[in-house]
Amino acid sequence: MLDAYRHYLINNLRHMKSSVRNQLALLLLNAFHESKECLALEWLALLCKLVGRRKSPKVRLLELLERKGLTRINKGVRSALEQLLGDGKFFQLRRIDDGGAASGGLPKRLEGNLWLIEPHPEVYAALTAVRERARIYVRLLGHIKEINAAQDPQDPLRRAMAQAALCFNAGLFFETHEHLEHYWMAEPAGPVKRFLQGIIQISVGFHHARLGKYDGAINQLAKGLEKTLGATGNFLGLNCNEFLPKVVAAREAILRRGRAQMTPLSLSKIPRMRLKK
């Protein structure tokens, strides 16, 4: 049963449009720095849970608020929902009486019992994967706070690696790539930039492996290993002596299996990024 659900989830993820995937990743990455995005993630997870349980993918705004023990929309809730509702976002707000959509997201005056929330078609098409992503994101929120408190703000690259490791170990390889790419692009040419690019490519390789894509997995992992060749000890806090040999072993296992036998790689077969405390 678990394998069947995992297969269904992978297929659902494959059909997720890049625009939805990018929006999801941006919410999480912004949550590394902004508390309002943390709240938005919690509302997103709840919305996906409620919508996913219904034949008709709609939920009353009033019911959503009641699930949080609220009777009205305060400033914090409005700020969070504005991240999720409106054109080009995850959900659309519609009036119950005439079906009219709220232009621009949230009206200034909003009575909960007059509105329905429904996912945009591209979100609904991949709702299972979106819901699973949101669930994982919410699970990470407490760890995000711990990392930010423990890491020296004067050492942004080391903090970024700790945040990337959190994503990587949760199976969020696309998010790992997106997060580190900002730092890689800003870094001047040299060993650190090369190392960051290598970790990005390793993350992309495992993203392909999770989707069962043989060529993308072995090629990106090879590029990443070439970029990180010679890295030892704790590079930007990452335990390279443990992590990189396990990446090599994972790639070799995929090669032995071959293209014809390639199936989505289980998260348990992917090494964890461990950082020096």
Q: Which CATH superfamily is domain 151-269 in?
A: TTHA0068-like (1.10.3450.10)
Q: From CA 277, how far away is CA 162, in angstroms rounded?
A: 10
Laid out side by side, the sheet with 115-119 consists of 59-60, 115-119, 91-95
Q: Is 270 in contact with 206 (CB distance < 8 Å)?
A: yes
- Give the contacts of 219 (CB within 8 A, at least 6 positions apart): 205
- pLDDT score recorded for residue 159: 92
- pLDDT score recorded for residue 1: 45
Is pLDDT of 257 > 80?
A: yes
- pLDDT score recorded for residue 8: 55
- pLDDT score recorded for residue 9: 62
Q: From CA 5, how far away is CA 141, in angstroms rounded?
A: 25
Q: From CA 236, how far away is CA 197, in angstroms rounded?
A: 13
Q: From CA 6, how far away is CA 210, in angstroms rounded?
A: 11
Average pLDDT rounded to a whole number, residues 259-273: 94
pLDDT: which is higher, 209 or 276: 209
Q: What percent of the chain has pLDDT over 70?
A: 93
Q: From CA 175, how far away is CA 158, in angstroms rounded?
A: 17
- pLDDT score recorded for residue 20: 92
- pLDDT score recorded for residue 99: 82
- Give the contacts of 275 (CB within 8 A, at least 6 positions apart): 161, 162, 165, 234, 237, 238, 239
pLDDT: which is higher, 77 or 53: 77
Is pLDDT of 7 > 90?
A: no
Is pLDDT of 5 > 70?
A: no
- pLDDT score recorded for residue 106: 77
> Could you give the residue ranges of the DSSP H alpha helices within the chain?
2-14, 18-31, 35-52, 61-67, 75-81, 121-124, 127-150, 156-169, 173-186, 191-210, 214-227, 240-257
Average pLDDT rounded to a whole number, residues 150-165: 88
Report the range of poorest mean pLDDT among 143-147, 192-196, 265-269.
143-147
- Give the contacts of 210 (CB within 8 A, at least 6 positions apart): 10, 171, 173, 264, 265, 267, 270
Neighbours of 233 (CB within 10 A): 9
Band of residue 152 on the pLDDT scale cut at 50, 70, 90:
confident
Is pLDDT of 111 > 70?
A: no
Q: What is the mean pLDDT of the chain?
A: 89
Position 100: which residue type?
Answer: G
183, two tokens: 């730092």
Q: From CA 52, how far away is CA 63, in angstroms rounded?
A: 15
Residue written as token pair 């071959």 = 258
Average pLDDT rounded to a whole number, residues 165-174: 96
pTM for this prediction? 0.89
* Ranges of each domain in the chain: 2-127, 151-269
